[in-house]
């Protein structure tokens, strides 16, 4: 597996013009630093697009804009709400809003999407595909799409296939990577997200590249176009928004990692809420119990970072009336996607259906429905007889 922390020999991607054959100017994730006029004229400034400026997308887009290798790179944006658009435009220069996703795709080379659910991803990419397929005699510049939405694996793989089938100046079609995230709104704001990335060559091939880099004492040239695009464009793009990049393998495998992880999170969130309620009912001081859990076998992200008890962690959603966190409804959606993935693979999950019933039940409470998922702790206490 590729590692972003370990030092390695320099990877030199072959000329980007080989990948984007429509242009005599090679694409680069940064501007040319050469003072020669010939070098300057041959560089190409990547254009970026971001679709979906919700609670996660807006801070991600801000970090993307502020940390791009080339400050001259424009950022083209779309959202159904005007408020985040105004917020983003006020935060940085060279941002251009559009009234449709097709216009964002038309004006961008690298497009990131961060959308709520599978139906939104299908709708957005159907509109983009229609735009890109307009002129087969003069096909568009080859583009790189990165979808960080949490959706089902099947929809993601179908979207990948759709984009590869569209006309472009390259025989390989457009590139699509599924790159869901972990880290929540705090991680999105602080650019510390973890990206789980699919749409790459098989993991064995990645490991082969890694071994070659480790054993080489000279510069390594990447010949595989997909690996090259990941190294030269996808990796530096995602690094503006996250701290950890985890290549997971082929199409859909980034989402496979995300859904498996969020299944675990859905269960530990319930268990943590019940555990702290049990400790309270038995008379334990909850600050003390929190310290015990932090050094014991029950420790988890739900107890360490997203503790459900108000006042235990000053910056947790629980200490803000369960606001500005990972919504209960979104957790329910992700759990449903994980359970569907299990059914698709004929895998029986012993606790999944019961957990989904818990989230559905808590969601019926008007107070809880719009709150962070840790609000289950309050729900249990409010319904104690």
Q: Which residues are catalytic?
A: 258
CA quadruple 352, 358, 363, 368: dihedral sign: negative
Q: Torsions phi, psi of 374, nearest 5? A: -70, -5
Contacts with 332 (C-beta within 8 Å, 6 or more apart), sequence order: 356, 359, 360, 363
> Which DSSP string corresponds to 321-371?
TT-SS-BHHHHHHHHHHHHHHHHHTT---TTHHHHHHHHHHHHTSHHHHTS
User: What number of residues does the chain have?
Assistant: 385
Closest to 14 measured CA to CA, from 278, 176, 220, 175? 220
Maximum Cα–Cα distance for the chain, whole Å?
78
Contacts with 309 (C-beta within 8 Å, 6 or more apart), sequence order: 276, 286, 290, 318, 377
Contacts with 68 (C-beta within 8 Å, 6 or more apart), sequence order: 48, 75, 240
CA distance 1 to 212: 12
């Amino acid at each position: 597996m590729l590692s972003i922390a370990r030092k390695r020999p320099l990877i030199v991607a072959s000329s980007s013009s080989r990948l984007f054959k429509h242009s005599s100017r090679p694409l680069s994730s940064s501007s040319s630093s050469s003072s020669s006029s010939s070098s300057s004229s041959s560089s190409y400034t990547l254009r970026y697009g971001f679709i979906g400026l919700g609670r996660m997308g807006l801070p991600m887009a801000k970090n993307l804009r502020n940390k791009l290798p080339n400050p001259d790179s424009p950022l083209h944006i779309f959202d159904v709400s005007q408020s985040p658009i105004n917020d983003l435009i006020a935060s940085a220069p060279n941002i251009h809003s559009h009234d449709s996703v097709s216009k964002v795709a038309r004006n961008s080379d690298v497009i990131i999407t961060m959308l709520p659910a599978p139906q939104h991803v299908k709708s957005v990419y159907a509109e983009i595909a229609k735009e890109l397929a307009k002129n087969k005699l003069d096909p568009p510049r080859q583009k790189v799409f990165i979808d960080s939405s949490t959706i089902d694996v099947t929809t993601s793989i179908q979207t990948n296939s759709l984009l590869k089938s569209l006309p472009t100046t390259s025989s390989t079609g457009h590139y699509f990577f599924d790159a869901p995230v972990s880290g929540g709104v705090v991680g999105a704001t602080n650019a510390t997200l973890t990206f789980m990335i699919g749409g790459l060559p098989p993991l064995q091939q990645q490991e082969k590249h890694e071994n070659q880099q480790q054993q080489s004492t000279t510069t390594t040239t990447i010949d595989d176009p997909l690996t090259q695009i990941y190294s030269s464009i996808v990796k530096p793009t995602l690094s503006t928004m996250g701290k950890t990049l985890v290549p997971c393998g082929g199409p859909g495998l980034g989402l496979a990692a995300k859904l498996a992880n969020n299944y675990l999170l859905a269960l530990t969130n319930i268990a943590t809420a019940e555990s702290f309620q049990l400790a309270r009912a038995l008379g334990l001081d909850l600050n003390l119990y929190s310290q015990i859990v932090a050094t014991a076998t029950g420790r988890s992200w739900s107890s360490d970072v997203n503790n459900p008890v108000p006042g235990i962690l000053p910056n947790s959603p629980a200490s803000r009336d369960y606001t500005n966190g990972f919504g209960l409804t979104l957790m329910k959606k992700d759990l449903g996607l994980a359970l569907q993935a299990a059914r698709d693979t004929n895998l029986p999950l012993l606790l999944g259906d019961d957990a989904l019933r818990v989230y559905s039940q808590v969601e019926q409470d008007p107070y809880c429905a719009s709150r962070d998922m840790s609000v289950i702790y309050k729900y249990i206490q409010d319904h104690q007889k």
